[in-house]
A and B are shown apart, each in its own frame.
Chain A
Amino acid sequence: MTNAPDAKPVLQVRHLTTSFRTDDGIVTAVDDVSFDVFAGETLGVVGESGCGKTVTSKSIMRLLPEHLTIYGEQSEVIFEGKNIIRANEREMRKIRGDKIAMIFQEPMTSLNPVFTVGWQLDEALKYHTNLSRKQRREKAIEMLRLVEIPNPERRIHEYPHQLSGGMRQRVMIAMALCCEPDILIADEPTTALDVTIQAQILDLMNGLKEKLHTAIMLITHDLGVVAQVCDRVMVMYAGRAIEFGSVREIFHEPQHPYTNALLESIPKRGSRRSRSRRLPTIPGIVPSLRNLPKGCRFNDRCPACQQRCIDEEPELINHSLDRPVRCHFPLNQKTQTESAH
C-alpha cells in the first residue's frame, strides 16, 4: 500500500472469517476480511453497529468465547511471522497486553472496581516484564504521568469509581501502553466521553503514536474522529470489508455507494440554512446477519442498485490503483482504461 508510512506491516490479517454457534445455527459476523496494519499509522475501521468491526478486533486479540467461535479454515492473523489465530491460550497471554494491547469503549466496565488503579497497572507489568516491585511502581507512575493524569503518586492508590470517565479512559490507555505494545487496538475509545474529553484522548493517542511509533487500529462510527486522526480507512458493512483508501480518498472520493451515503448523511457543521434542507438518508436498515440479501449485501439500500448487484456479490477489487472496493459500479473512479488513454 502506497499510503503506508512503513513498508512492512506489523500485523497482517488474511481472509478472517469469524462465525458463532447460536441457537439458530451458525452466524458469520466477519466474512473474509483481509488488511494490514503498519507501524506508526492509524488505521480507521468504520461501520455501523453489527458490521463486524468489534468482532474483527476481538478475533485478533482472541477474546471471543472459544467454545462458541469458529474461525474460517483460511483465516490468518500474522503477527511476528506467526499465525496467532491458531495459537494456544498460553501463547496468546504473552502477546496480549504486551505486544498487542486493546482499549475498550466502556472505561467503567473494563476496569476492575475492587482493585486500585496502581494494582491494575502493576499486574500487566508483573506478567510481561522482569522489573522489581519498586521499578514497577515507578513505571506505573510514569505511565500515568504520560497520559497526563495529575498527581499520579496519589492516583495509583485510588479505585476506578474515584475517577471521572475521561480519567478512567486515560488509565485504560496507560495500562494498554505500559508494555509499549507494537499495536494498540482502540474499540470506540471516545464514544462514551464528552467532546472536550474526547479531544483530550484523541490528542493523547496521536502523541503516543508519534512518540512510541505504535500502530493504532481505531474502531469507530464517528466519521469526524476518523477525519481528524486516521491515516488509512477500512469501511465495513454487514461483515464484509467494502472499501479501503487513505483518509483523503475516503472522504473526498468515496467509491462505494455506502461510504458515500454515510458521509452525506451527517449534518454538516457551519453550513448556513442547512435546516431547510433535508438530510440525504440511506433507506432501510442494516440487514440481519442471519438473513443476508443475495448478491451485494448493500443492494436493498443502494441508490444505484442494478440487476447484476442482485445476482452476484461483487469481489473486493481495485478498480483504480490501490483502492480496493467491493462494488460492481463504484463511484468517483478513475478507471485504469481511462488513465491509460
Chain B
Amino acid sequence: MALLQVENLVKKFPVRGGILNRIQGYVHAVSGVSFEIPEGQTLGVVGESGCGKSTLGKTVIRLYEPTDGRIVLKGKDITALGPAEMMPFRRKMQIIFQDPYSSLNPRLTINGHIKEAVRFHNIVPPGSATDDYIDEVLQKVGLRPEAKNKYPHEFSGGQRQRIGIARALCVKPDFVVADEPVSALDVSIQAQVLNLLSDLKEQFGLTMMFISHDLKVVEHFCDRILVMYLGHVVEELEADDLDQQAQHPYTKALLGANPIDDPDDRRPLVVLQGDVPSPYNPPKGCPFVTRCPVATERCRQEMPRLETKSAGHRVACFEVE
C-alpha cells in the first residue's frame, strides 16, 4: 500500500480587494492533483515558478489547508483532522525548505533548533540524554557536535542546509517534503547535499517528495516524476523514462530548454514562446494551450484528463496517442 495517497487535491487562495475587501477571485495554485507515493520511494515534482509545486508540497503536509480533495497517510485520512489529532502526524511529515538563510531562526543556536522539535514530540524518552541524541543527529548530517552552540550566521549555505535536514529528520519522520533543497547552493555543494539526502533516505527508509525546477537533479534523485503546469499535473512517469518516453508537449519543451552539458551537442534551445499565464485567470481548456505548439481547437474548449498511456505513465493531452 502506498504510504501517501493524494486524491483530487485543490488549493485556491482568495484574492481580496475593493473597499469592502471582498473576495474578488481565486488564485488556482493546485487544481485537482492526484498521486500516490509507495513506501520508500521518491516522487519528483518539476515545473516552472508559479506552477504550484511548492504549494502542493505544503498542502500535502497541511501547512496549507486544502480547499478540496483527500490526503491519506498510512491509510489514515488526515485531510480534516483537528490540531490535536493532527499532532502525531505532524511528526511523521516533515519539510526541508529551499532557502537555508531564511528558514532558520537567526537568534536560536543549532541546539535550540533541534532541541525544540525533539522535546515537543518526546523523541527521547524522559530521563535519557537529549544532548547525546542531538550530537548523533548532527553527526548523521555531517556536522560536528561542536556546531551545536553556534548560530545560523556562522555557517555556510551548504552547512545551513544540513542543519535544515537535521531539524527535519530529528523527529524520525516517515515522509519528507524537500522543497528545492539544493537550488540555492553552489554546484560542488549541491552534489554533497544530494549525496547526503540519498544516504539518509536509505538509512531512515524515508519516503520523499522532492520538488525542484532542475530536471537533472530530479532525474538523478527520484523514482517517479510529476510534471506540473499551472496547478495541473500534465504528465507522470518513471524517472528513467523521462529522457526517452516523455510525451506531453510541455515536458518535451522543458527537456528541450534545458541546456545540455556538452559543447558538441548544441541545439536550438527555444521551443516555447511567451510566458506562463496567470493562475488568477487560467485559460479555458488545456492550461498549456497558450504556448503549446500542437494545440487544436479542441484544446481551447476542453480540458484533457490525465490518462494512463502505458503502465506507470500518465499524460494529460489530446494530441498524444
Give A residues with C-beta under 8 Å from B. Answer: 48-49, 164, 166-167, 194-200, 202-203, 221-225, 227-230, 247-248, 251-252, 261-263, 265-270, 272-275, 278-283, 285-286
User: Is B203 located at the chain interface by the 8 A CB criterion?
Assistant: no
In the assembled complex, the Cα of A48 lies from the Cα of B185 at a distance in Å of: 9
Residue in B253, B263, B269 whose CB lies within 8 Å of A251 = B263
Say yes or no: A274 contacts B192, CB within 8 Å: no
With contacts defined as CB atoms under 8 Å apart, how many contacts are there between chain A and chain B in the complex? 142
Residues of A within 8 A of B259 (CB): 198-199, 202, 222, 224-225, 227-229
Of B22-30, B69-77, B99-107, B216-224, the stretch lying at the interface with chain A is B216-224
Residues of A within 8 A of B272 (CB): 196, 199-200
Q: Are B263 and A248 in contact (CB under 8 A)?
A: yes
Q: Which residues of B contact A279 (CB under 8 A)?
A: 191, 194-195, 220
Q: Write the chain A residue with the least CB distance to B218.
A: A267
Q: A199-B257, A247-B263, A269-B260 are in contact. Are A275 and B239 (CB under 8 A)?
A: yes
Chain B contacts for A166, CB-based, 8 A: 275
Q: Verify B189–A285 contact, CB threshold 8 A.
A: yes
- For this complex, 30 residue pairs linking A to B, each with C-beta atoms less than 8 Å apart, are A48-B186, A167-B275, A194-B213, A195-B215, A197-B275, A200-B269, A200-B272, A202-B259, A203-B269, A227-B262, A228-B259, A228-B260, A228-B269, A229-B259, A248-B263, A248-B264, A252-B263, A266-B187, A267-B194, A267-B217, A269-B216, A270-B219, A270-B242, A275-B222, A279-B191, A279-B195, A279-B220, A282-B188, A285-B158, A286-B186
Of the candidates A196, A197, A228, the one having the most CB atoms from chain B within 10 angstroms of its own CB is A196
The number of residues on chain B lying at the interface, defined by a beta carbon within 8 Å of a beta carbon of chain A, is 50
The complex places the Cα of A266 from the Cα of B182 at a distance, in Å, of 12
Q: Whole-angstrom distance from the CB of A69 to the nearest CB of chain B?
A: 25
Whether B268 pairs with A203 at a CB distance below 8 angstroms is yes
**Assuming A49-B186, A196-B253, is B261 touching A265 (CB within 8 A)?**
no
Assembled-state Cα–Cα distance A198/B49 (Å): 13
**Cβ of B195 and Cβ of A267 under 8 Å apart?**
no
CB distance from A48 to the nearest CB of B (A): 4
Q: B260 and A224: CB pair below 8 A? A: yes
**Cα(A281)–Cα(B189), bound, Å:** 8
**Inter-chain contact B213/A199, CB cutoff 8 Å:** no
Q: Are A200 and B270 in contact, with the CB atoms below 8 A?
A: yes
Chain B interfacial positions (CB closer than 8 Å to A): 48-49, 156, 158-159, 186-192, 194-195, 198, 213, 215-217, 219-223, 239-240, 242-244, 253-254, 256-266, 268-273, 275-276
Query: Are B191 and A223 neighbours in the complex by a CB distance under 8 Å?
Result: no
Closest residue of B by beta carbon distance from A249: B263
A267 and B219 contact, Cβ closer than 8 Å, known pairs A167-B275, A223-B261: yes
Chain A, residue nearest B256 (CB): A199
For the complex of A and B, the 10 pairs showing the least CB-CB separation, nearest first, are A224-B259, A267-B220, A270-B243, A199-B269, A265-B191, A199-B257, A194-B48, A282-B188, A48-B186, A279-B191
Contacts of A228 in B (CB 8 A): 259-260, 263, 266, 269
Pick from A195, A224, A280: contact of B254, CB below 8 A. Answer: A195
Inter-chain CA distance A336–B265, complex, in Å, is 30
Give bound CA distance, A221 to B217, whole Å.
16
> A196-B48, A279-B191, A282-B191 known; A274 and B219 CB under 8 Å?
yes
Q: Contacting A265 at CB < 8 Å: which of B158, B190, B243, B275?
A: B190
